[in-house]
Amino acid sequence: MKNILIYLSTFTLLFPIITNAQPLLYVPTGSTNDVLIIDLSTDKIIGRIDELENAHGLSSSRHTEYLVAGSMQAPGTKKSGAAKPAKMSEAEHAAHHANTKSKAEQTTTPSYVSIIHAKHGRVIRRVEVRALTHHTAVSPDGKIAIAVHSGAGGISVIDLNKMKVIKTLQTGTWPNYAVFTSDGNFLYITNAGMGMVSEINTRTWQITREINVGKEPEHMAISADNQFLYVANKASGSVSVINLTNGKVTKTWPVGEKVHGIDLSDDGRWLFVASKGTDTLSRINLSSGKITTIDLSPAPYHVAYIAGLNKLYISSRKIPRIWVLNAQTLQIENKIDLGKGVAHQMVIRSNNKQDNK
């Protein structure tokens, strides 16, 4: 579930200054090296932050002014790769070069985590971490950021006040995604190479439980009451439901091949899951278990439910597009053309306190 966050004002951007208080969507676009800013009242791109290096992970919290972007590119390397073949889309070209790093390079190559000041729309600090960073997460109190290093098998813990790494921790083979509980006391990391989720006590930074799920677990969503953790298993084509009270998987829902993005409605009624392999979006009614599936082509990827707006934003892995769906009817209401790149881990922010969870 993507909560709408605070502290937006005006930006130093390539577009006109924003003076309204509408919620905005921040979208990292991978090897095109920028973050797009989309006005959710119009679904129009209104700006770009272009100081990044192959950003996949992007996260924030209502109690921080920062956006935290990871990088899948070593510092100092050229932003542009080989020329794009004429018959290949911008998105396919970006995806190809994002995935050409060897495991050795991903394990040993350091990178920067970029700290973006949302109010000013620019990178204010770069924090060096030990390996390339896939996804990121920010603690609910806005004090800590997590960089997930898939190739290196662990995470870096960044103090956002000191702007430095204060802890590194190995979690397992090929970690992918990170989610905090709402009180920030626990952190969950999927380990795609082990079919397992690590639970970490953030007061001690010790792993307290390892929970087996499906094959290649990646993205997750956690219920508002911290009782259930929903895990998308890419290779199993399923979603595992973990009861966090006892650490047991209580349900498994089949949803489609190459499951990726996952998000919860703000009322906890629905779980939305994108399946790249079958070009489908599934909506699971968490009370009844009923699954409603629609076709969405090509390759639905990341998913963001907008709290209070009853809208779903879903990116494509193959083309530079975000679909805007009505969460109730699952009808497409709009399409946002990104121009280039692939939309990855999306973040929503607003300066209206009433919009915040």
The answer to whether residue 17 sits within a structural domain is no
Distance CA 240, CA 178 (A): 16
Instruction: Centre a 10 Å sphere on the Cβ of residue 235 and count the other Cβ atoms it contains.
Output: 16
- Cis, bond preceding 217 (omega within 30 deg of 0): no
**pLDDT 10s digits, 248-303:** 999 999 999 999 999 999 999 999 999 999 999 999 999 999 999 999 999 999 99
**pLDDT 10s digits, 186-236:** 999 999 999 999 999 999 999 999 999 999 999 999 999 999 999 999 999
The answer to whether residue 5 sits within a structural domain is no
Tokens of 287: 């009370």
Q: Which of 266, 260, 276 is nearest to 312 (CA)?
A: 266
The answer to whether residue 118 sits within a structural domain is yes
Q: How far is CA 176 from the centre of its chain?
A: 10
**pLDDT 10s digits, 4-22:** 343 333 333 444 344 446 7
The answer to whether residue 14 sits within a structural domain is no
User: What does pTM read for this prediction?
Assistant: 0.88
The answer to whether residue 287 sits within a structural domain is yes
Q: Residue 46 belongs to a domain with what CATH number?
A: 2.130.10.10
**pLDDT 10s digits, 20-49:** 467 899 999 998 999 999 999 999 999 999
The answer to whether residue 338 sits within a structural domain is yes
Residue 106 DSSP SS3:
helix
Distance CA 186, CA 191 (A): 16
- Cis, bond preceding 320 (omega within 30 deg of 0): no
pLDDT value of position 85: 40
The answer to whether residue 111 sits within a structural domain is yes
Q: Which parts of 86-135 are beta strand (E)?
A: 111-117, 122-129
The answer to whether residue 57 sits within a structural domain is yes
For residue 214, the enclosing domain spans 24-355
The number of folded domains in the chain is 1
